[in-house]
Amino acid sequence: MTMVIHRPDWERSMTMHIRTKGSKRSLVRVLEPAKDRGNGTLTDDDNMWTYSPKVNRVIKIPSSMMGQSWMGSDFSNKDVARMDDIVDQYDHTILGVEETDGHKVYEIQSVPHETAAVVWGKEVLKIRDDYVVLKHDFYDQDGKLVKTLESFEISEMGGRTVPKRQRMTRVDETDRWTEIRVSSVDYDVDLDDSLFTLSSLRNPRD
């Protein structure tokens, strides 16, 4: 996977390898550029840690920082840590259904439970009948749209239909965005639990 961070006066890209196990565990490792190689992020349930080989230090991300930028991108730590929070910590309402490119597309409004430890005031998604998320809008606690995630180049990879590109754009700065580009993907891979540990985050075994 390549992540491209675009700003009006500069642009940078990072190549990463991501492994996930279920919906609660993930390990992200930066491969390129060389100056960032080895930087990593580990998530395990509601916990998140980062590691930088330059300082040889593992840092736990506190809940107060989950809304902050992940690796300098337009994705927040919370976006990366628990994408499935929206399933069990929100109430969902179908706002409409439309036909697009031979698929039914459902527009769904998701409002968090009062006790949910989430960043956003509400989220609105457009999801195809094959579970591809076409668009994902994020609103703050005052109901103001903050940023939008859009999917492009939807095709089959690894035997499943997925978007090859997803771009997160801030509403107040449309010339600022972060794009995720998937180069390859494998599903149903047997991954050992020891991969998703602080020891593995600090000392890569691959």
Q: Please give the pLDDT value at position 198.
A: 93
Q: Please give the pLDDT value at position 116.
A: 76
Cα distance between residue 159 and residue 144, in whole Å: 38
CATH superfamily of 2-202: Lipoprotein localisation LolA/LolB/LppX (2.50.20.10)
Q: Note the pLDDT tens digit of each residue in 191-202.
A: 999 999 999 999
Q: Note the pLDDT tens digit of each residue in 138-180.
A: 999 999 999 999 999 999 998 899 999 999 999 998 899 999 9
Per the listing, tokens 């995630």 go with: 149
Q: Please give the pLDDT value at position 29.
A: 93
Cα distance between residue 59 and residue 100, in whole Å: 44
Q: Please give the pLDDT value at position 118.
A: 77
Q: Please give the pLDDT value at position 206.
A: 61
Q: Note the pLDDT tens digit of each residue in 107-138.
A: 999 999 987 777 789 999 999 999 999 999 99
Q: Note the pLDDT tens digit of each residue in 67-103.
A: 889 888 999 888 877 666 778 889 999 999 999 889 9
Model confidence at 64, in pLDDT bands (50, 70, 90)?
confident
Mean pLDDT to the nearest integer, 3-25: 91
Which SS3 state, helix, strand or coil, does residue 201 take? helix
Dihedrals phi, psi of 81, to nearest 5 degrees: -70, -45
Cα distance between residue 15 and residue 190, in whole Å: 23
Cα-based distances in Å from 128 to 16, 19, 34, 142, 153 = 27, 25, 38, 28, 14
Written as one letter, the residue type at 129 is D
Q: Please give the pLDDT value at position 82.
A: 61
Question: Could you state, in order of their start, the residue ranges of all structural domains in the chain?
Answer: 2-202
